[in-house]
Amino acid sequence: MSNSHDHKPGFFARWFFSTNHKDIGTLYLIFGILSGLIGGYLSFMMRLELMEPGFQVFDNPHTFNMYVSMHGLLMIFFLVMPALIGGFGNWFVPLMIGAPDMAFPRLNNLSFWLLPTALICLLISMFIPGNPSGDGFAGSWVMYPPLSTSGHSGPAFDFVIIGLLAAGFSSIFGAINFITTIFNMRAPGMTMHKMPLFAWSVLVTAWLLLLALPVLAAALFMLFFDRNAGTGFFDAAKGGDPEMFQHLFWFFGHPEVYIMVLPAFGIISHIISTFSRKPIFGYLGMAYAMVSIGVVGFIVWAHHMYTVGMDVDLKAYFLAATLIIAVPTGIKIFSWLATMWGGSLSFSIPMQWALAFIFLFVVGGVTGVALANAGYDAAVHDTYFVVAHFHYVLSMGAVFGIFAGFTYWFGKMSGYLYNKYLAAAHFWFFFIGVNLVFFPQHFLGMQGMPRRYVDYPAEFAFYNKISTLGAMVTLVGVLFFLLWLAEAFIVKRKAADNYWGEGANTLEWTLPSPPPFHQFNTLPRIK
Amino acid sequence: MADHAVEHDYHLLPPSPWPFLAGLACTVWGVGMVAFFAGLYPRNAADPNGLMEFLFSRGMDMFGAEKVSNGGWIFLALGCIFATIVMIGWWRDVAKEGNTGDHTPVVQIGLRYGMIMFIMQEVMFFVGWFWMFFEFVLFRKERANWNPDVLEGASAYADSYGLNAAGNQFSTIGAWNLPLLNTLVLLLSGTTVTWAHHALIKNDRKSASTGLVLTFLLGFIFIFLQGLEYKEAFHERLANGFWLDSNIYGSTFFLATGFHGLHVLIGAIFLFSIWLRLIKGSMTPKQHFGFEAAAWYWHFVDVVWLFLFTFVYVVFAMG
Ligand code: HEM
Ligand SMILES: [Cu+2]
């Protein structure tokens, strides 16, 4: 019953020794934005290089591929996961379920502080020898051996391994924390079937993290020992098999892609419901659609490996299982549409991001279903078609989800309102930009342009040029993002408790903006 | 914002330095891992005494043919020590909070969930190693018969198991020697920890203490015997063609059993620290979650060993 909790600790203790879910969530968001800027810089350099045939920016193809690899790793492990799960999950899961904090506040802070460690390892790796061709690791985020073993003799990749292990344990601890919080700390009366969908989405995501990441950890250890201690897991000369790495990796990797998008699903559900002034259509269906996506997500991994030469029967199985995931995904899309049907819609900034999310995610989902067909995939595997697919679901799915959530909750988190016009400029430049970047890549892929090459023949020049122009438009969008962020903190327009009004009816809107350092000293009761 | 008094039983914590320090420790450890195993700085015979070379050239070379002495292990050791200090400090705080009544019933339920999930992720970690073992070793004959276009290096693979000659080309560790003994050791330790638990519930602290001591001693005996087994294998590695870098069987064998051994060590230390707390007077018949967590972990380690024993030793030896 002490009152000491009501006082905020001093600066250093507050931000470095934190045990407060909101502060840790803020740290995650800042961290995500910073790594996103680094990852974005890398991708912008890649696009400048690919603007025209020939060499523009890079004089060493190895460096180009190193940028590709680091871009992927940074965006996945250091932007999307920290922002969606660490950032919004930390901020809003306890608020939405009516809990005063996370179950294990110290462990929560460990989850965060392992990430700077991991990032440092990855950044170091870029400046130390990767292999005789250059510095850094250039074997893509999928890290297939033998390129990642005998193909990268320098210590750069060892740092990548250590960094990913640290990031992995960060997520595992985070997952334990979220599941325990959700199972054990819901406010009186909040049954699982009354729990807001964002909390559901984080719950499913946490299970995926908990069960998938240890397998990646095992695979990373195998790589580490193959490289440094002479084991032969992926060395055919010793009886091992590099293909087995792909199995282990994608057993983690496919759940991972859903880890990145499920929290965005949750966020979008809240936004659509808020700005339609209607409860979400088919709430239980929405929750269990996510559960089934999570379950089925574990048994489809080999659709990333159709071209390794696997048995036709096996291909048929993975094809069918993969297509099945489209069913719960479809349930979600149609529920969002049905929620809007007959609602009184308002096209606020978060709603624009959410609508764009739905539209673009459908595009990515449709190309996913196309790729799931092993026969078709054989033609476009490892081409820009795949790049277009996963950027439609990631940089327009997951990232749009992040921006949707950020613009939805920014006032709640910071206490300030942003300038609508700057935020709208951010949205439109970003929306047009990313579509210009990635839509032409479908055509490039179908024409046969392979991924991960620094150069290409003149036939591919046209669409590549458009794509790079799109990157410039996107950059303007990012600048507007930073601008509205800075403006909001400079001008300090105070946000009301519930600045979206009727429609926003989860528990976080019953609290002041920003909420007190410790909320719910008296637990809310849910009828 | 005048908050009114806290009316819930959840555990809110004051700021704590441990997580941040753990992140720092992990950074030192990571640099140490790379320096020790891979080497961060080239060995330069012309100027062998530079400090950078001493600290950051590959520490593993100590074990190589030429036995170069160096300090490549220093950062790794520092990282491990740093991490150990952090863990001790962290868990002492937890124990203190447990003793002062911060662990209300609802918090204890949370700790249970947490421990169960921690063990689940450990299980998935071993799933990775068993997957490799089944694929490469138990089903090696099936694999060798696969389409050579599919299986890279099929003939090297088959050779490494002597499938082209008669029988296995290398001798492995027989199941019915030390491994069987170790199985019995771990099973026995499973009973002693249960004995200790029941004694604690009946408030017979003396038996509880004896049971715990026996348990972690058995754990250390297991590690000792495993060490003997490894030592033997190491000395005969050239004659037997069986070491972690000889072939895929060696790799899966040593890494799977090695990671298991590491977990036995962790579990034994965990039990040891629980014993320290017990003899210092904490843990009551009603509230002793730390004890239970250690016991769960111990059973998990035990079960993994049973799987290892069955498949890695027995079934493998059967052909
Ligand atoms: C209906 C749902 C989906 C289906 C059927 C599907 C199917 C596929 C298939 C078959 C591939 C392999 C293509 C190839 O490499 O040849 C692929 C790649 C990929 N997908 Fe999806 N996908 C779906 C949704 C998603 C979602 C929601 C995400 C992430 C948010 C995602 C992220 C990725 C990524 C990152 C890759 C590329 C991995 C790489 O090779 O680097 N996909 N998808
Ligand atoms: Cu997939």
Kindly tell me if the per-residue pLDDT of B229 is higher than 80.
yes
pLDDT of residue B141: 67
Kindly tell me if the per-residue pLDDT of B147 is higher than 70.
no
Mean pLDDT across the stretch A208-228? 97
Q: How far is A79 from chain B (nearest CA, A)?
A: 19
Kindly tell me if the per-residue pLDDT of B269 is higher than 80.
yes
pLDDT of residue B151: 58
Residue B4 lies in a domain: no
Residues of A in contact with B143 (CB under 8 A): 241
Is B178 found in the same domain as B91? Answer: no
The alpha carbon of A125 and the centre of ligand 2 are apart by a number of angstroms equal to 27
Is B127 found in the same domain as B182? Answer: yes
Ligand 1 atom nearest A329 alpha carbon: 1
Mean pLDDT across the stretch A34-40? 97
Split into its structural domains, chain B has a count of 2
Is B187 found in the same domain as B44? Answer: no
Q: Is the dihedral of CA A445, A447, A453, A455 positive or negative?
A: negative
Is B98 found in the same domain as B147? Answer: no
Q: pLDDT tens, B116-145?
A: 999 999 999 999 999 999 988 777 767 766
Residue B195 lies in a domain: yes
Residues of B in contact with A1 (CB under 8 A): 5-6
Residue B8 lies in a domain: no
Residues of A in contact with B106 (CB under 8 A): 184-185
Ligand nearest to the CA of A372: 1
Mean pLDDT across the stretch A83-104? 97
Ligand nearest to the CA of A382: 1
How far is the C-alpha of A403 from the C-alpha of A483, rounded, in Å?
14
Kindly tell me if the per-residue pLDDT of B249 is higher than 90.
no
Interface predicted TM-score of the whole assembly (ipTM), two decimals: 0.95
**A 212-251 residues with CB below 8 A of B?**
212-215, 217-219, 221-222, 224-225, 227-233, 236-244, 247-248
pLDDT of residue B242: 79
pLDDT of residue B149: 60
Kindly tell me if the per-residue pLDDT of B148 is higher than 80.
no
| Domain CATH for B292 | 1.20.120.80
Position B274: which residue type? I
Kindly tell me if the per-residue pLDDT of A112 is higher than 50.
yes
A267, with CB counted inside 10 A (0-12, 13-18, 19+), is: buried
Two tokens, residue B309? 């024993």
Beta carbons of B3 and A221 less than 8 Å apart: no
pLDDT of residue B59: 86
pLDDT of residue A82: 97
Kindly tell me if the per-residue pLDDT of A177 is higher than 60.
yes
Mean pLDDT across the stretch A6-11? 79
Kindly tell me if the per-residue pLDDT of B167 is higher than 60.
no
| Close Cβ partners of B81 (under 8 Å, ≥ 6 residues apart) | none
pLDDT of residue B162: 47
Q: Give the closest residue to B172 by CA, choosing from B183, B158, B159, B161.
A: B161
Domain boundary among B102, B132, B152: B102
Two tokens, residue A391? 């950027």
Residue B89 lies in a domain: yes
Mean pLDDT across the stretch B64-82? 85
Is B275 found in the same domain as B212? Answer: yes
Give the rounded percent of residues in chain B with a pLDDT score beyond 90. 61
- pLDDT band at residue A498 under the 50/70/90 scheme: very high
Give the rounded percent of residues in chain A with a pLDDT score beyond 70. 99
- pLDDT band at residue A5 under the 50/70/90 scheme: very low
Kindly tell me if the per-residue pLDDT of A238 is higher than 90.
no
Pocket test for ligand 1, best of A304, A324, A380, A392 (most atoms within 8 A of CB): A304
- Are A209 and A171 in contact by the 8 Å Cβ rule? The answer is yes
Is B248 found in the same domain as B116? Answer: yes
Residue in chain A nearest B151 by alpha carbon: A241
Domain boundary among B69, B102, B135: B102
Residue B7 lies in a domain: no
Q: How far is A396 from chain B (nearest CA, A)?
A: 31
- pLDDT band at residue B248 under the 50/70/90 scheme: confident
**Beta bridge pairs of residue A475:** none
Is B186 found in the same domain as B37? Answer: no
φ and ψ at A450, to 5 degrees? -75, 160
Q: Give the closest residue to A234 by CA, choosing from A164, A148, A122.
A: A148
Q: How far is B206 from chain A (nearest CA, A)?
A: 33
Ligand nearest to the CA of A73: 1
Kindly tell me if the per-residue pLDDT of B276 is higher than 90.
yes
Kindly tell me if the per-residue pLDDT of A75 is higher than 50.
yes
Mean pLDDT of chain A: 95
Mean pLDDT across the stretch A109-120? 97
- Displacement of CA B180 from its chain's centroid (Å): 20
Q: Which of A266-270, A276-280, A393-397 has the lowest mean pLDDT?
A: A393-397
- What Cα–Cα distance (Å) separates residue A89 from each residue in A13, A83, A197, A522? 22, 8, 12, 22
The alpha carbon of A158 and the centre of ligand 1 are apart by a number of angstroms equal to 27
By Cβ distance, the residue of A106, A121, A221 closest to B13 is: A106
Is B313 found in the same domain as B260? Answer: yes
Tell me, yes or no, if A187 comes closer than 8 A to chain B by beta carbon: no
The DSSP annotation for A280-314 comes to PTTHHHHHHHHHHHHHHGGG-GGGG-GGGT--HHH
Kindly tell me if the per-residue pLDDT of B28 is higher than 50.
yes
Residue in chain A nearest B160 by alpha carbon: A239
Please count the CA atoms within 13 angstroms of the CA of A41 that sit on its side-chain side.
5
Is B35 found in the same domain as B135? Answer: no
Is B83 found in the same domain as B178? Answer: no
Pocket test for ligand 1, best of A251, A332, A390 (most atoms within 8 A of CB): A390
Domain boundary among B102, B130, B145: B102
- pLDDT band at residue B71 under the 50/70/90 scheme: confident
Is B173 found in the same domain as B65? Answer: no
Q: Give the closest residue to B276 by CA, choosing from B133, B70, B91, B97.
A: B91
pLDDT of residue B118: 97
- pLDDT band at residue B156 under the 50/70/90 scheme: low
Kindly tell me if the per-residue pLDDT of A149 is higher than 90.
yes
Kindly tell me if the per-residue pLDDT of B72 is higher than 60.
yes
Residue B2 lies in a domain: no
Mean pLDDT across the stretch A151-164? 96
Is B303 found in the same domain as B163? Answer: yes
Beta carbons of A243 and B152 less than 8 Å apart: yes
Mean pLDDT across the stretch A140-146? 96
The alpha carbon of A300 and the centre of ligand 1 are apart by a number of angstroms equal to 11
Tell the residue nearest (CA) to atom 19 of ligand 1: A390
Q: How far is B61 from chain A (nearest CA, A)?
A: 11
Q: pLDDT tens, A327-379?
A: 999 999 999 999 999 999 999 999 999 999 999 999 999 999 999 999 999 99
The alpha carbon of A314 and the centre of ligand 2 are apart by a number of angstroms equal to 15
Mean pLDDT across the stretch B30-52? 83
Residue B9 lies in a domain: no
| Enclosing domain of residue B81 | 15-102
Residue B1 lies in a domain: no
